[in-house]
Amino acid sequence: MVKSRRVRSRFLYVQCNKCRNKQVVFGCAKTKVGCLACNTPLLIPTGGKSALVKNPITKLPNAHILEILDKNL
């Protein structure tokens, strides 16, 4: 009997707070992820799940998650 592995990695649909560009990113990215339109850093790797980058001046994230994709895998 073969057990199926549970997938914990997800794709995220995020929106840049600076230029309002929407894009799909991988939730467990191994490199820094930037906005495709304005090159603002959105996600940084943490060894597991990626974390949203916070603006050092406003202390708010540079992006927000609109939707978690591939929920039922």
Structural domain for 25, as ranges = 11-69
Return the pLDDT at 9.
78
Residue 6 in any domain: the answer is no
What does the pLDDT read at residue 48?
Answer: 87
CATH number for position 47: 2.20.25.100
pLDDT, one tens digit per residue, over 23-53 is 999 999 999 999 999 999 999 999 888 999 9
Statement: residue 71 has pLDDT above 70: no
Residue 72: the pLDDT is 61
Number of structural domains (the chain) is 1
Give the separation between CA 65 and CA 52, rounded to whole angstroms: 9
pLDDT at residue 22 is higher than 70 = yes
- The DSSP element (H or E) to which 26 belongs, if any, is strand 22-26
Residue 66 has pLDDT above 90, yes or no: yes
